Amino acid sequence: MLDTLQKPTTPPTQPRAEIWSRQLLHWSGIILVTTVWVSAALFGLYILAFYASALYQDDMTRWNQVLPRLYERSTGTATTGIGLHFAAGGIILILGSLQLIDSVRTRFPAVHRWVGRVYVAACVFAAVGGLAFILMKGTIGGSTMNVGFALYGLLMLIAAVATYRYAVMGDMVRHRAWALRLYALAIGSWLYRIEYGFWIMFTNGLGHTKTFDGWFDQFMAFFFYLPNLLVVEAFVRASRRHVAPIARFAGSFVLLVATTFLLIGTYYFTLYYWGPAIVNWVTGSPQGRLGQ
Ligand code: HEM
């Protein structure tokens, strides 16, 4: 009798909501990461196809088709820096998401450790190469873009070092949180293109100029990585035990909406930019002109 009276103090729907919200958050996270992986890997392949093939075919002027001044015979060190950063960036985007897959981490820890070392080193090279370019030549958009991109590079360096350091120290909670921050920063360069693609599609490029100094360009110099860091913080907190199921449902909804946008963006970018460059590379056809 006492048992029967006491039972309603725990609402019967609570455990079910708890389980479903956890499952939904888990699966929406997996779907988002898979989408990001496929899309970012396509962008990574495009970078390698486009920039590496120009280097291989000794036609370096093609590097200036998307952004001017990336290749200039007179500034060899800056060009080497940006080239290093392309190679590292391509590697990061292709490898990155592998590190987040639970089964790879638990079943093949040696793979996780080795890919992790290459990944962290590539992040350091991408950041250092980009920072060297900014210091020597500055970005196309001028001071706001210089500050935005330099901060991006510095944050990436800090996150790469912290991810590695906490792994070596065996502090897995901090390692995981920093690895997620590093991942959020690393996919920023890819998000930058997707976000520009949507903006140009919906507004016909309002606030964007060819020299990247319009109000939208200045906003974008920060917007491609700062919101990602906020999403990671929200995700890290939502993964903790004490969060209410409703917060997990809300988090899952945000992740699923983000996935839908990314799928649409990836479709159009692959159709018009990344796909043709990759196909031309694979078939050995000459690379055509590409736009931002
Ligand atoms: C995953 C990491 C990264 C990838 C994949 C990547 C990719 C690229 C690509 C492909 C370009 C050439 C433009 C284009 O074809 O769209 C570029 C330019 C550039 N990136 Fe990155 N990037 C990454 C990280 C970084 C970081 C961390 C910095 C910060 C220092 C940085 C700074 C720059 C700069 C300064 C330019 C030249 C902008 C200009 O000409 O004004 N990148 N990046």
Q: Are 290 and 66 in contact (CB under 8 A)?
A: yes
CB-based contacts of 129, cutoff 8 Å, min separation 6: 81, 82, 83, 84, 85, 86, 88
Tens-place pLDDT, residues 29-55: 889 889 999 999 999 888 888 888 888
Residue 120, number of CB atoms within 10 A of its CB: 22
Q: Are 67 and 290 in contact (CB under 8 A)?
A: no
**Rounded CA gap, 223 and 240, in Å?**
27
Distance 180 CA to ligand 1 centre (A): 20
Note if the pTM is more than 0.95: no
E strand or H helix at 150: helix 143-169
68 versus 261: which is more confidently predicted? 261
Q: 90, 267, 86, 95: which is closest to 194 by C-alpha?
A: 267
Q: Which of 149, 158, 222, 224 to mutate to test the pocket of ligand 1 (most atoms within 8 A of CB)?
A: 149
Residue 248 has pLDDT above 90, yes or no: no
Distance 122 CA to ligand 1 centre (A): 13
Output DSSP code: residue 11: -
Distance 133 CA to ligand 1 centre (A): 9
Residues in contact with ligand 1 by the CB-under-6-Å rule are 47, 66-67, 69-70, 85-86, 89, 92-93, 126-127, 130-131, 133-134, 139-140, 149, 152-153, 156, 186, 189
Distance 100 CA to ligand 1 centre (A): 23
Output DSSP code: residue 224: T
The overall average pLDDT reported for the chain is 86
Q: Are 142 and 213 in contact (CB under 8 A)?
A: yes
Residue nearest (by alpha carbon) to ligand 1 atom 38: 139
Distance 130 CA to ligand 1 centre (A): 6
Indicate the domain borders of the chain: 21-277
Specify the ligand 1 atom closest to the Cα of 50: 15
Vertex 192, ends 134 and 44: CA angle to 5°?
Answer: 85
Distance 189 CA to ligand 1 centre (A): 7
Least reliable range by pLDDT among 28-37, 204-213, 230-239: 230-239
pLDDT band at 4 (very low <50, low <70, confident <90, very high): very low
Residue nearest (by alpha carbon) to ligand 1 atom 5: 89
